[in-house]
Amino acid sequence: MSGPLSDIRVLDISTVLAGPNCARYLADFGADVIKVERPDTGDSLRGMAWRDPRDGSGLWWKLVNRNKRNIALDLKNTDDRELFLRLLDEANVLVENFRPGTLERLDLHPDTLIARNPKLVVVRISGFGQDGPYAKRPGFASIAESMAGGEPDGPPMLPAIALTDEVTGITAAFAAMVALHSGVGQVVDVNLLTTIFQIMGPVISLYKLTGELQPRLGSGLPYTVPRGVYQCVDGKWVGVSASSDTVAARVMKILGLETDERFTTFAGRMEHRELLQKLMGDWCATRTRDEVVAIFEEAEAAVGPVFDMSDIAKDPHYAARNMIQEVGNTPMQGLIAALSKTPGELRWEGRLLNSDCDAINSQGWLTP
């Protein structure tokens, strides 16, 4: 094993997305991660959504469980449980995302586990946290995202990706590393609701101090305009943001509005939001996407083409940054961060169920 985390041993008994993603980020930077699955069905992620047309394996599975070794264990079976506990006694991190109370019912109370292994970090990922009125509720990302917002005249909207699961995985990996750095065995309580709430900005401060509620504005924001997506004459779309005065001034110049006093300040632009959004939309509607992007880039104003995956697959910047890599023979996202001296490494895609059983039974953890 190589990589900056090659001395870290992680037991991943979590399922689907947030927990396995936490362990994936650690594995990508060298941690020895053993993915533990049910012997009968394995992780339900194996059969979720899209499948690789070449071998029938789940594409989610290949991505989220890359760089992990794999074993199937029944934690209610005496022999399997004994092996699990032996591994746990030498582990640094345990990742689980059962509903609160399940680990205790399996007679694997975190206090007992930490007593056996005083430096063990137990990462517990749930929908709403390990305590509180909602703790026992089943938690999925869509539930936490239900407060996300929507179009002004339409119903609330949920993102079309597993946003909260993905961000919670990153959050849990960060929190695990903080706990490991402390050198003290402890429980890390990460949940979907807190994670999505953390990235909502100061809107709770606004409400608690003023009683004001941020309105639903679709792609817009209440404190900056123009901001949103706009359709071009060729039917393609661009995203525009003018969230600083300097950038907004450049956008106003592009629109021929640099001397219009209604648009020279944030306050003025907010007051005339609907008019400015219309002017921005009308301007884009007479130009192609490439023309809009070229004009904005020349003016050093913020713009981006709205991509679908076919655009991303051929985009030169994605290629230059190694954002899409072949792992095994499957294309997928590359590493989340580039370290100049101790980079991560993508070694293999998610493996078959129980594929490392013999090696783990005989050798246990790998030697850094």
Q: How wide is the angle at C-alpha 132 spanned by C-alphas 130 and 135, nearest 5°?
A: 50
- Residue 16 φ then ψ, to 5°: 60, -110
Q: Under a CB-based contact definition with an 8 Å cutoff, are residues 158 and 93 in contact?
A: no
**SS3 category, 296:** helix
Query: Per the residue annotation, which of 165, 245, 290, 308 is the catalytic one?
Result: 165
Residues 6+ apart with CB under 8 A from 117: 88, 89, 90, 91, 185
Alpha-carbon gap, residue 182 to 325, rounded angstroms: 34
Q: Under a CB-based contact definition with an 8 Å cutoff, are residues 62 and 330 in contact?
A: yes
Alpha-carbon gap, residue 246 to 276, rounded angstroms: 17
**SS3 category, 213:** coil
Say what angle helices 163-182 and 18-28 make with each other, to 10 degrees: 50
Residues 6+ apart with CB under 8 A from 163: 141, 145, 196
Q: Is 40 a catalytic residue?
A: no
- 240: closest CA among 199, 201, 292, 200? 292
Q: Can you spell out the DSSP letters for 136-196?
A: TS---HHHHGGGS-B-TTS-B---SS-HHHHHHHHHHHHHHHHHHHHTS-EEEEEEHHHHH
Q: Which residues pair with 58 in a beta bridge?
A: 51
**In the Cβ-directed half-sphere of 182, how many Cα atoms lie within 13 Å?**
16
Alpha-carbon gap, residue 276 to 190, rounded angstroms: 41
Residues designated catalytic: 165
